[in-house]
A and B are shown apart, each in its own frame.
Chain A
Amino acid sequence: MDYKFDFGPVWDGMPGLLMGCLGTLYLALAGMVLATIIGIGGVILRDSRFPPFRWLIKSFVELIRNTPFLVQCYFIFFALPLLGEQLGVLMFDFGLTDKAGNVLRLSPTATAVIALGVNGGAYAIEIIRGGVQAVSKGQIEAGLALGLHRAQVFRLIVLKPALRAIYPSLTSQFTLLTLTTSVASAIAAYELTSVAEDINGRTFRTFEIYFTVTLMYLAISTLMALLFNAISRRYFSYPVK
């Protein structure tokens, strides 16, 4: 056994690792916000009275949930810019832009946020939809009878109890989303795993680095759990039977 533990390089790389943690937190939080928006918006369209919206959301959910996250990242990062080039030329030809630039080239971080949001959003749609369906029809009727419009009934009466009902499922999905940020190292987004890979490539202190990074991910997950609990206490703590 020639391998001797030496946490020196990890210690030297600590500022980078901590910045990586911030990068991970940023991707996770931005991804969650986007996923929540897509989730709630998707549910509204998924159950709208306009069939094409329902089909669109249904197909979107099936597409995202049945393809790997890494492939979705690659598609947005590598494939979309090729489409963007064609679009840029087309827009220039029609006089919509001054030069034939690429309209779909995204930074690794933007790609990661969109991929996480879209992926998490597809799962969130199905989860939140379950919550909306769990709200009794009587609640909706009471809102309508009071003269509120359908959109007001959804926003003011249905949404909160629906989110409360599925909050544990949604937060476990979002914990998964937080950990999935590590996949974004494949497109060199700035986050903890890519920082770790970088230090490992230079120092080969593989055990020490990934041991440390494991603890850091645990800490990040714990932080998220605290955040989820705080949100629950703040918004979903009304008594129910």
Chain B
Amino acid sequence: MATATIANSTQSTSPMIAMEHVEKWYGAYKALSDINLTVRTGEKIVLCGPSGSGKSTLIRCINHLEAYSKGRILVGGVQLGESAKTIDAVRREVGMVFQQFNLFPHLTILQNCTLSPMRTRGLSKIQAEATARRLLERVRILEQADKYPAQLSGGQQQRVAIARALCMEPKVMLFDEPTSALDPEMVKEVLDTMISLADDGMTMIVVTHEMGFARQVADRVIFMAEGSIVEEGPPAEFFTNPKHDRTKKFLGEILRGH
């Protein structure tokens, strides 16, 4: 039932993701404080900020890998965490790509892509494999379909991870520092894949320090520090005219390296 609710609401004008006064506590440590964020369908958001600023925690709350402590999170109109069922419903619509790829080492590339569609969406093996091959083709890695993750380079693994998430036909994709664990020469192939996904209209939230990607793709860049959203704006404005000192300092530090 919850799945149906998500599908219907995307056709309306309600936002894809709405976070309202969200707080996250680890014991006495406040990891997120009063987060308010609305993401429209098709919008691309880049989240940046120093390590420990809560950006990963924020996107991990959206698919409930972390339980939030206060406030509300709605994904496609479904309030996350009201019941286990809403969590399942949301996770089936929200794809996630991790820093460490997290491909399953004991399954081939193709099996990595078909596992969940067959188990959670009830697709037949033939249907699941057809979808998987189409998406592996799209990330230009179809020829590796029968290999195991350990036989692929980091960049190839991350592209498979993107294809694996896409096989669930998600309405939103979350990226948690997708290029941070990659050797420099492999960053581009992953970013190119993400750019093409963005061009196709996918709703995306990307935690990254790749400011070139942010400039090219993001509708909004959000800067976080110490668990709060400090500043946000369209990339042109964000990079050329940051308002807060914290943002200026951060941008000064990461752009110096480029």
Question: A: which residues have CB within 8 A of B?
Answer: 136, 138-139, 141-149, 152, 156-157, 160-161, 164, 238-241
Query: Which among A146, A157, A160 has the highest number of chain B CB atoms within 10 Å?
Result: A146
* Distance A142 CA – B96 CA, assembled complex (angstroms): 8
Instruction: Give the residue name and chain of the A residue nearest to B108 (CB).
Output: A238
**Partner pick for A141 among B92, B102, B164, CB 8 A cutoff:** B102
Task: Produce 1/0 per residue, B83-101, CB < 8 A to A.
Answer: 0000010011011101010
User: Residue B151 at the A interface, CB < 8 A?
Assistant: yes
Chain A residues, Cβ within 8 Å of B151: 239
Residues of B within 8 A of A144 (CB): 65, 91
A40 to chain B, nearest CB (A): 16
B119-178 interface (Cβ within 8 A of A): 119-120, 148, 150-151, 161, 164-165, 168
B10 at the A interface (CB under 8 A): no
A131 CB to closest chain B CB (Å) equals 13
Which residue of A142, A148, A161 is within 8 Å of B106 (Cβ)? A161
| CB 8 Å contact bits of B57-100 with A (1 = contact, 0 = none) | 00000010100000000000000000000001001101110101
Give min CB distance, B2 to chain A, whole Å. 12
Annotate B3-33 by CB proximity to A: 1 below 8 A, 0 otherwise.
0000000000000000000000000000000
Q: Contact at A145–B96, with CB atoms within 8 Å? A: yes
Q: How far is the CA of A50 from the CA of B116 in the complex (A)?
A: 27
Q: Residue A147 contacts which of B65, B88, B148 (CB distance < 8 angstroms)?
A: B88
A241 and B154 CA atoms in complex are apart in Å by: 12
Residues of A within 8 A of B168 (CB): 146-147
A239/B150 contact (C-beta < 8 A), A146-B91, A157-B104 known:
yes
B164 to A146, Cβ gap below 8 A?
yes
Q: A141-B102, A161-B106 are in contact. Are A146 and B150 (CB under 8 A)?
A: no
- Shortest C-beta distance, A223 to chain B (Å), equals 27
> Residue among A141, A152, A161 with the most chain B CB within 10 A?
A141
Closest to A164 in B: B106
Question: Which of B96, B103, B116 lies at the interface centre, i.e. has the most chain A CB atoms within 10 A of its CB?
Answer: B116
B104 / chain A contacts, CB cutoff of 8 Å: 139, 142-143, 157, 161
- A141-B98, A238-B148 in contact; A146/B116 too (CB < 8 A)? yes
**B95 near A145: Cβ-Cβ < 8 Å:** yes
Question: A163 — nearest CB in chain B belongs to which residue?
Answer: B106
Q: Return B207 CB to nearest CB of chain A, in Å.
A: 14
B105 at the interface (CB under 8 A from A): yes
Closest to B93 in A: A147
Residues of chain B within 8 A (CB-CB) of A143 are 104, 116
**Given A145-B65, A147-B120, A240-B105, 13 new contacts (CB under 8 A):** A142-B96, A142-B103, A145-B91, A145-B94, A146-B91, A146-B116, A146-B168, A147-B88, A147-B91, A148-B116, A156-B115, A156-B119, A161-B106
- Interfacial chain B residues near A146, Cβ < 8 Å: 91, 115-116, 120, 164-165, 168
Cα of A201 to Cα of B63 in the assembled complex, Å: 71
Bound together, the chains give a CA A164 to CA B104 distance in angstroms of 13
Residue on A with the closest CB to B84?
A149
Most buried by A among B94, B102, B115, B161: B102
Which A residues lie within 8 Å of B100 (CB)?
136, 138
B62 to chain A, nearest CB (A): 10
Give min CB distance, B78 to chain A, whole Å: 14
Residue of B98, B105, B119, B164 near A152 (CB, 8 A) is B119
Chain B residues with CB below 8 A from A164, complex form: 106
A148–B92 alpha-carbon span in the complex (Å): 9
Give which listed residue, B88, B105, B116, contacts A238 with CB less than 8 A: B105
Shortest distance between the CB of B209 and any CB in chain A (Å): 20
User: Please, how many angstroms separate the alpha-carbon atoms of A226 and B67 in the complex?
Assistant: 48
Q: List 29 A-B contacts (CB under 8 A).
A: A136-B102, A138-B100, A139-B102, A141-B98, A141-B102, A142-B96, A142-B98, A142-B102, A142-B161, A144-B91, A145-B91, A145-B94, A145-B96, A146-B91, A146-B116, A146-B120, A147-B88, A147-B91, A147-B168, A148-B115, A148-B116, A148-B119, A156-B115, A160-B106, A161-B104, A161-B105, A238-B150, A239-B148, A239-B151
